[in-house]
Amino acid sequence: MIGVGVIGYGYWGPNLVRNFAQVNGGAVVAVCDANEKRLEVVEKLYPAVATYRTVDEMLADPAVDAVAIATPVSSHFPLAEAALLAGKHVFVEKPFTRTSAEGERLIELATDAGLTLMVDHTFIYTSAVRKIHELITTGQLGQLHYYDSVRVNLGLFQSDVSVMWDLAVHDLSIMDFLLGIDPITVAATGVAHVAGQPENMAYITCMFPDNLIAHFHVNWLAPVKVRQTLVCGSEKMVVFDDVDMSEKVKVYDKGVILDEDPREVYQKHVGYRTGDMWAPRLDNVEALALETQHFVDCIVDGTTPDSDGHAGLRVVRILEAAQESMTHNGLPVEVPKMRTVAR
């Protein structure tokens, strides 16, 4: 039985506690939070769970085998580092770390100690994203042409991170999982409409080999909530609408056909292919339930999580490049390559 301790019982912590309490082969044994009122809620809902006001106290508890971190990004690295040095497996909320150097350090610690390190990229565990991954890896979409994503709403303005590090991290983690290749360059522009605060809207463009392009629009200042992704292939196209409760994924048999004119060697005709649309059946299972179970299973089996430290680091490196590009008015910035082949 893997004993899990959760650090942070604010916005996301209660969801982690609820899901880790239900996993097979694991159990929530401790919760840590500096706010005593939050701990009173834990004690009322989970009377068998130990509560701590300091991280050091919780890490000293021998019943805690693994730690789940649900705190602001500025604290991810010191908390994860302390947990790994204490011999605990680590599950850390997105984004992984503030810098790639911090991410590299955590990966090194986990590898040297033989501990499981996993990043909370929740969306890659949804049935919708898993289905799109299946369509791509089985070649049903053909050669990919573009990836276009919009994630906007009238959201909560963050004071510690920009909209890229808050919202775009979701879509970049989905893209990383679906495409399985690293972008060559990243260009980004953004604006802060509240003086002295981070950017509240941004546009990010990632360039890949073979003319594959990915574009992201994230915004805290929109009148409607939009969570939509388009993936275009040479054979089929996919629309992923996370707001649609009945048909989140739609597959369109649409595209263009290029035919050479036999009378003109250099002349090509563009035709359009219009076929059926179908919406695949998706399992109605909470992604976080699958993700927390996956974390415990990886600890028990010694396997690598789908969203391991390297996945978290790849996303952080894209975000760093995007931030650098933004400071130079959208100048493309090269992204360090981490993978040699597509998954």
Q: Is residue 93 part of a domain?
A: yes
Percent residues over pLDDT 90 in the chain: 86
Query: pLDDT for 114-127, tens place per residue?
Result: 999 999 999 999 99
Residue 199 lies in a domain: yes
pLDDT mean across residues, the chain: 93
Of the residues 115, 147, 163, the one at which a domain ends: 115
Q: What's the DSSP call for residue 209?
A: G
Asked if residue 78 and residue 129 are part of one domain, the reply reads: no
The pLDDT tens digits of the residues spanning 191-225 come to: 999 888 899 999 999 999 999 999 999 999 999 99
List the structure tokens of 300. Answer: 């028990």
Length of the chain: 343
CB contact at 8 A, 217 and 163: no
Same domain, 324 and 244: yes
Are 169 and 265 found together in one domain?
A: yes
Average pLDDT of the residues in 304-308: 97
- For residue 265, pLDDT over 50 is answered with no
From 82, 115, 148, the end of a domain falls on 115
Q: Looking at residues 249-270, what average pLDDT do you find?
A: 66
Q: Are 244 and 324 contained in the same domain? A: yes
Provide mean pLDDT across the span 80-108.
97
77 with 154, same domain: the answer is: no
Share of the chain above pLDDT 70, in %: 93
- Residue 243 confidence class, pLDDT cut points 50, 70, 90: very high
What local confidence, expressed as pLDDT, does residue 342 receive? 44
Q: Which residue has the tokens 């040699």?
A: 340
How many other β-carbons are positioned within 10 Å of the β-carbon of residue 146? Answer: 15
CATH number of residue 324's parent domain: 3.30.360.10
Phi, psi of 80 (to 5 degrees): -65, -40
Q: Which pLDDT band, with edges at 50, 70 and 90, does 339 fall under?
A: confident
Model confidence at 101, in pLDDT bands (50, 70, 90)?
A: very high
Are 145 and 105 in the same domain? Answer: no
According to DSSP, the β-strands at 221-233 and 237-241 are: antiparallel
Rounded to two decimals, what is the model's pTM? 0.92
Asked whether residue 260 falls in the same domain as residue 187, the answer is: yes
> DSSP letters of 26-54?
EEEEEEE-S-HHHHHHHHHH-TTSEEESS
Rounded mean pLDDT, 75-104: 97
Judge if 179 and 264 occupy the same domain.
Answer: yes
Domain count, the chain: 2
Token duo for residue 27:
């159990």
CB neighbour burial string for 232-251, b if at least 16 within 10 angstroms, e if fewer: bbeebbbbbbbeeeeebbeb
Task: Give the number of C-alpha atoms closer than 13 A to the C-alpha of residue 185, restricted to the C-beta side.
Answer: 10
Residue 167, φ and ψ in degrees, nearest 5 = -100, -45
Please check whether residue 294 lies inside any domain of the structure. Answer: no
> Strand 237-241 to strand 249-260: parallel, antiparallel, or no bridges (unpaired)?
antiparallel
Domain annotation covers residue 301: no
Read off the DSSP letter of residue 308.
B
The pLDDT value recorded for residue 156 is: 75
What pLDDT, in 10s, does the model give residues 26-41? Answer: 999 999 999 999 999 9
Do 93 and 11 belong to one domain? yes
Q: Which of 13, 29, 9 is nearest to 21 (CA)?
A: 29
Query: Is residue 99 classed exposed, middle or buried when 0-12, 13-18 and 19+ CB atoms within 10 A define those classes?
Result: middle
Is the Cβ–Cβ distance between 168 and 319 less than 8 Å?
Answer: yes
Q: How many CB atoms lie within 10 A of CB 231?
A: 25
Helices (H), 140-286: 163, 169-179
- Angle at which helices 309-327 and 169-179 cross, to 10°: 120
The pLDDT of 232-253, averaged and rounded, is 95
Q: Is residue 210 part of a domain?
A: yes
Question: β-pairing, 26-32 with 2-7?
Answer: parallel
Could you say which DSSP state residue 322 is in?
A: H
- Do 6 and 154 lie in one domain? The reply is no
Q: DSSP letter at 101?
A: H
Domain shared by 207 and 227, yes or no:
yes
Amino acid found at 28:
V
As a whole number of angstroms, the distance between CA 234 and CA 44 comes to: 55
Question: Residue 167 is part of which domain span?
Answer: 124-284+316-334
In a domain, 215, yes or no: yes
- Report the phi/psi class of residue 114: left, alpha or beta, with left for phi > 0 and alpha for psi in -120 to 50: left
Query: Does residue 73 contact residue 160 with C-beta atoms inside 8 Å?
Result: yes
What integer pLDDT is reported at residue 155 of this predicted model? 77
* 63 and 155 co-located in one domain: no
- Residues 174-196 have pLDDT tens digits of 999 999 999 999 999 999 998 88
Query: Sorting pLDDT into bands at 50, 70 and 90, what band is 343?
Result: very low
